[in-house]
């Protein structure tokens, strides 16, 4: 079972629907016990980085940390990816999981913000992106971006390159919304479900 972690930041309907569409058994939950029992974790996210404070306050962060250390597959989406880094200037007092180094920052001026729409990805080696080619388009909507780190496996350019996908062993994050990225997005979710 995949636990889709509900931290009360926006709606999970689209993520749940897409996971079910690729044949996953998924359950939305805010219960750390369920996180401990799940085979895989998905941390979706639309909205503000500060919402992730809920994870800490409800014992979810500790549970996620445990499970991730045990090696179960974890997928962070959008703010869920950003949370894998150390933090974000959007909410300097809230720390992320720190699985990847660096902090997320707002897009620089001169560009339209939020970055909304379909943008292409440039891919290096990735298990999550199996069957996806560089140049394929995915749907983004975000105002903050994660830095490019040595575990960045796909980048997107918007002003500057940022991390589109990060992956270290089974810890994975995507800045775009696979649940809204048509066939390309569903294929990525399917890859995750089949890990």
Residues annotated as catalytic (active site), given as ranges: 78, 177, 179
Q: Select 82 or 170, whichever has its Cβ closest to other proteins.
A: 82
Give how many residues touch other proteins by CB under 8 A.
37
Residue 75 CB, shortest distance to other proteins, in Å, is 16
Using the rule CB under 8 A, which residue among 3, 4, 9, 64 binds other proteins? 9
Kindly indicate which of the ranges 32-40, 93-101, 111-119, 167-175 contains the residues binding other proteins, using the contact rule CB under 8 A: 111-119
Among 21, 19, 25, 27, which residue's Cα sits nearest to residue 3? 27
CB of 101 to other proteins, least distance (A): 26
Q: How many CB atoms lie within 10 A of CB 187?
A: 18
State the CB neighbour count (10 A cutoff) for residue 19. 28
Q: Which of 147, 179, 188, 191 binds other proteins (CB under 8 A)?
A: 179
**Alpha helices (H) along 51-181:** 53-57, 60-69, 79-82
Place of tokens 């080619």: 133
Q: Which residues pair with 115 in a beta bridge?
A: 142
How many other CB atoms are there within 10 angstroms of residue 171's CB atom?
A: 21
- Interface with other proteins by CB under 8 A: which residues? 9-11, 13-14, 17-18, 21, 46-48, 109, 112-120, 137, 139-143, 157-158, 177, 179-183, 185-186
């Amino acid at each position: 079972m995949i636990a889709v972690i509900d931290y009360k930041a926006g709606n999970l309907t689209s993520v749940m629907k897409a996971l079910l569409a690729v044949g996953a058994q998924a359950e939305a939950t805010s219960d750390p016990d369920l996180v401990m029992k799940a085979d895989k974790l998905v941390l979706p996210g639309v909205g503000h980085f500060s919402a992730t404070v809920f994870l800490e306050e409800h014992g979810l962060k500790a549970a996620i940390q445990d499970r991730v250390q045990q090696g179960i597959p974890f997928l962070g989406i959008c703010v869920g990816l950003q949370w894998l880094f150390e933090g974000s200037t959007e909410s300097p007092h809230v720390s992320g999981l720190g699985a990847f180094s660096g902090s997320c920052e707002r897009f620089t001026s001169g560009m339209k913000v939020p970055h909304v729409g379909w943008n292409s990805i440039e891919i290096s080696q990735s298990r999550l992106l199996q069957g996806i080619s560089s140049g394929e388009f995915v749907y983004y909507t975000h105002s903050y971006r994660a830095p490019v780190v040595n575990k960045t496996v796909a980048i997107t350019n918007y002003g500057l390159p940022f991390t589109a996908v990060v992956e270290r062993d089974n810890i994975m994050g995507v800045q775009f919304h696979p649940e809204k990225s048509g066939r390309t997005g569903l294929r990525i979710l399917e890859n995750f479900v089949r890990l």
